[in-house]
Amino acid sequence: MPGVRPSSPPPSGPKHELERGIRDGEAPAMDEERVLWAGHPSHKKDLGFHLVCWLLCFLIVPMVMSLIRFLETRTNQFEVTSERVRVTSGILSRHMEELELYRVKDTGLYEPFLLRVFFKLGHVVLRTSDATHRIFVIPAVPDAHGLREQIRGCVEKLRERKGVRELDFAR
């Protein structure tokens, strides 16, 4: 028949195998990493600092300090996924760090008065067993309660899936 192509074999690869498994009614072979939250801290956390710098605007140094703080906050990018937290920072040179969620021991929430009341922002605090990041803070995020709960749920799932248990030794 003209215009009819012979059927080609189904595409292969992990993505297509996953799609085929879902179509066939099977559970996917592995959990996919999904983004829970991505963005940068709110500039509202620095309002007091910027206000003081602008009040001293007749001096050059406070204006430069305000610009640097603005750029630091703007270039500080967070990506919280179901398996890790990635932080990319730096104005001229970029630096990327990752924290695997299965290393999180405890989660917390810190809501400074002005950020909570006027802007509905909070800081998510992660206490970890990671040697480089014992306390990891995701500053000035909207819906900090929801993000903390999502992280906590993902930590539990990852620990169960990887068979990770937390052992504390008394000193």
Is position 25 within any domain?
no
Is position 15 within any domain?
no
Is position 58 within any domain?
yes
Q: What tens digit of pLDDT does each residue of 99-120 get?
A: 999 999 999 999 999 999 999 9
Domain range for 39: 33-162
Alpha helices in 13-143 (DSSP H): 14-23, 47-55, 60-75, 113-114
Q: What tens digit of pLDDT does each residue of 46-93 get?
A: 999 989 988 887 888 888 989 999 999 999 999 999 999 999 999 999
Task: Give every strand in the sheet of 135-142, ordered side by side.
Answer: 104-110, 121-128, 135-142
Is position 49 within any domain?
yes
- pLDDT of amino acid 31: 66
Is position 43 within any domain?
yes
Q: How many domains does the chain have?
A: 1
Q: What is the pTM of this model?
A: 0.74
Write the DSSP assignment of 31-67 as a string of letters: PPP-EEEEE---GGGGHHHHHHHHHTTTSHHHHHHHH
Average pLDDT over residues 152-165: 91
Is the pLDDT assigned to residue 25 strictly greater than 50?
no
- pLDDT of amino acid 135: 94
- pLDDT of amino acid 60: 83
| Domain of residue 101, CATH code | 2.30.29.30
Closest CA to 83 of 138, 137, 33: 33
pLDDT tier at 166, thresholds 50, 70, 90: confident
Give the distance between the most distant pair of CA atoms in the chain: 82
